[in-house]
Structure 1
Amino acid sequence: MGDFTDVPDRTAPQSLLVVAAHPDDIEFCVSGTVMQWISHGARVTYCIVTDGGAGGYDATLPRQAMTHLRRAEQVHSAKLSGVQDVRFLGYPDGAVEPSAALRRDLCRVIRQVRPQRAVIPSPEINWQRVADLHPDHRAVGDAALRAVYPEARNPFAHPQLLRDEGLTPWAVPELWLMTGPSPNQYVDVTAVFDRKVDALRLHTSQTAHFDDLAGLLRGWLAEHARAGGLPPGRLAEAFQIVDTA
């Protein structure tokens, strides 16, 4: 059983970076926790790796239009959660690899933001939930993990970042992995559940077809809460915390 943590008992980071593969991943997985950290003073940056062009359910919508739509949805959803800084790397949806180019781009964001904590997808397979098996999630998790350790803190990794852009190394002291098979931290998000649902609904291209989006989310978060030993009726988001200091 994992540890139950109510957010006020865990100090919110001064600076937080959340890395995700697609627009809407954050709202599905971690936005409730982020909202609560923001309420305790965290400065948050979202970094979305892909253009989201392979998503959606409307076959009549051109793919190029989908990428613009999903970017707009993510920006508006982030604002509802209290996040103003949203960065898009624009990699093709469905074709992500943990390449040197992606790791360099993530190192750039890390050195710019200089976060005290980073939330990233787990690079491990979670066989318990099919939605977590998307290969983009694991590829982004792999690249982000390598960017955090060892590359962003190494002055000799991606030397052009320091030489040409003046971005000095930065060591992220703590990672929170989402969608992984081995969570060890559960954050109660019951108080912000309705806002979390509203933020996810703004991803209309991805969620309009759900008959009961709130019910779907409630079921997932209730499972996390039970696994974390929370009282009945509570809802939680799940993470694996990794100390990288």
Structure 2
Amino acid sequence: MTDHVNGPLRPMPEDWQRALAVVAHPDDLEYGCSAAVAAWTDGGREVAYVLATRGEAGIDAVDPAACGPLREREQRASAAVVGVSTVEFLDHKDGVIEYGLALRRDIAAAIRRHRPELVITLNHRDTWGGVAWNTPDHVAVGRATLDAAGDAGNRWIFPELTEQGLEPWDGVRWVAVAGSSAPTHAVDAAPGMERAVQSLLEHRAYIEALTDQDPEAYCRSFLTANAEAAAERFGGRPAVTFEVFSR
């Protein structure tokens, strides 16, 4: 093991104003980093969400035609709890997102629209810490987001975006990956934890299909356990962790 894996987690950069979070599904951010988002919006920063799908394949008992609108409503309500009012959907198909030029183009376009300094995504690696297999959607969107942060600033990649009025944006300074098994930075989870629990709880239809536990107990247990697991590397404080790539 390396110091990168075991050493102290550094505080997240603070000299930014706009962030864009790009993930595959409704609930990805709520499982991954909404306590940090709550702290950021409390501090006056702007955070927008872009989701590749509407999560329409996420509930076995609900037909995708009904599930997509349901999960979109839950995501918008969930985002509002942590101070996020802008939630966009790219309408890729849930469960079968393909990494490639179309996905990179859509994410690059979103970055050009929102012009963030910080881009956030979810674990893009094959596994969750070598223990559980990751989903193809997470891998595709995470990797495409890392790539699109560069694509967005190059006018000769996807020149059709410029023709559509989306000028290049080379202002992304960091891409922060939530849920990484190799985190480098962290945000104190305590100020935003209660809202993070309530934000995840807004995905009630999904959670009730996922577990027989009481939904609030399930949300609180999951989020607090993850935050407390990071405390040893963050001065004893429960934390939301990120693997940060500078640009």
State the TM-score, normalizing by the size of structure 2.
0.89
Q: Is 1:194 matched up with 2:200?
A: no
User: Deviation at 1:130?
Assistant: 5.3
- Point out where structure 2 has 5 or more consecutive residues left out of the alignment: 1-5
Q: Is the 8 A contact 1:225 1:237 kept in 2?
A: no
Which segment drifts farther, 80-89 or 181-190? Answer: 181-190
In 1: Cα distance, 2:56 partner to 2:39 partner: 30
Cα separation, 2, equivalents of 1:114 and 1:132: 33
CA-to-aligned-CA distance 1:170-190 (integer Å, 9 cap, x gap):
121111111222111121111
For residues 74-93 of structure 1, the aligned pairs below 5 Å read 74-93=75-94
Matching residue of 1:157: 157
| Offset of residue 101 of structure 1 | 1.1
Which residue type is aligned with residue 168 of structure 1? Answer: E
CA distance in 2, matches of 1:80, 1:187: 18
SS in 1 for 2:91: strand
Of 169-178 and 211-220, more deviation after overlay is shown by 211-220
Q: Percent same amino acid among aligned pairs?
A: 34
Q: Is the 8 A contact 1:24 1:203 kept in 2?
A: yes
Please tell me the residue identity of whatever aligns with 2:158.
H
Cα RMSD (Å): 1.8
- Identify the residue that residue 34 of structure 1 maps to in structure 2: 37
TM-score (norm 1): 0.89
Q: Which amino acid counterpart does residue 87 of structure 2 have in structure 1?
A: V
Q: CA 1:86/1:131 → structure 2, altered by over 3 Å: closer, same or farther?
A: farther
**Inter-partner Cα distance in structure 2 for 1:132 and 1:116:** 31
State the one-letter code of the partner of 2:85.
Answer: Q
1:6-41 Cα shifts (integer Å, max 9, x gaps)? 67xx42521100011100010111111111111111
Secondary structure (helix, strand or coil) at the match of 1:50 reads coil
Answer yes or no: is the 8 Å Cα contact 1:32–1:193 preserved in 2: yes
DSSP-derived class of the 2:243 partner: strand
Q: CA 1:72 to 1:129, structure 2 compared with 1: closer, same or farther past 3 Å?
A: farther
The separation in 1 between residues aligned to 2:157 and 2:205, in whole angstroms, is 38
- Conservation of the 8 A alpha-carbon contact between 1:12 and 1:40: no
Name the SS of the counterpart of 1:144 in structure 2.
Answer: helix
Report the Cα offset of residue 134 of structure 1.
1.6
**Contact 1:12-1:41 at 8 Å conserved across structures:** no
Helix, strand or coil for the counterpart of 1:76? helix
2:204 pairs with 1:224: no
Give the aligned residue type for 1:197: V
Which deviates further from its counterpart, 193-202 or 177-186? 177-186
In the TM superposition, what are the counterparts of 1:1-245 in structure 2 within 5 Å?
A: 1-5=6-10, 10-11=13-14, 13-56=16-59, 59=61, 61-128=62-129, 133-149=134-150, 151-163=151-163, 165-171=164-170, 172-208=172-208, 209=211, 210-211=213-214, 212-213=217-218, 214-226=220-232, 228-231=233-236, 234-244=237-247
Gaps of 5+ in 1: none
Question: Contact 2:11–2:185 at 8 Å: present in 1 too?
Answer: no
Q: Which amino acid aligns with 2:28?
A: D
Show CA shifts across 1:117-140 (max 9, x none): 101123223442756712211110
Q: Which runs of 4+ in 1 moved over 6 A?
A: none
Give the letter for the 2:203 counterpart: H
Contact 2:20 2:120 (8 Å CA) reproduced:
yes
> Are the structure 2 counterparts of residues 118 and 223 from structure 1 closer, same or farther at C-alpha, using a change threshold of 3 Å?
same
* Structure 1 CA distance for aligned equivalents of residues 128 and 54 of structure 2: 26
Secondary structure of the equivalent of 1:215? helix
Match of 2:3 in 1: none
Secondary structure (helix, strand or coil) at the match of 1:90 reads coil
